[in-house]
Amino acid sequence: MDTSIEDRLKIVEAAIAELKQQNTHSEPNWIEQITGSFKDAPIFDEVLAYGREFRHADRPQDNVSTE
């Protein structure tokens, strides 16, 4: 490879600058677009509760003896 490290670094820096420029003109990502869109949906609280129960179901039970 005949290209010096300095030249390669300049190419990388230029590519990063171009990507940053493209990113400033892009639309918000999907998560930003939907955040808060379910806040007034009554069923959403049920969905959250179901997800919470599902996650907790895999947790090991405490080995506490009841005498």
What does the pLDDT look like over 3-30, one tens digit per residue? Answer: 899 999 999 999 999 998 887 776 777 8
**Domains identified in the chain, total number:** 1
Which of 14, 16, 11 lies closest to 1 in space, CA to CA? Answer: 11
Give the range of the structural domain holding residue 24, as residue numbers without chain letter: 5-58
Q: What is the pLDDT of residue 1?
A: 60
Residue 44: inside a domain, yes or no?
yes
> Distance (Å, rounded) from C-alpha 44 to C-alpha 46?
5
Q: What is the pLDDT of residue 65?
A: 54
Which of 17, 15, 16, 37 lies closest to 28 in space, CA to CA? Answer: 37
Residue 45: inside a domain, yes or no?
yes
Residue 66: inside a domain, yes or no?
no
64 pLDDT more than 70 = no
51 pLDDT more than 80 = yes
What's this model's pTM, rounded to 2 decimal places? Answer: 0.37
Residue 23: inside a domain, yes or no?
yes
Residue 25: inside a domain, yes or no?
yes
Residue 63: inside a domain, yes or no?
no
How high does pLDDT run on average in the chain? 84
- Only one residue has tokens 């999907």, namely 30
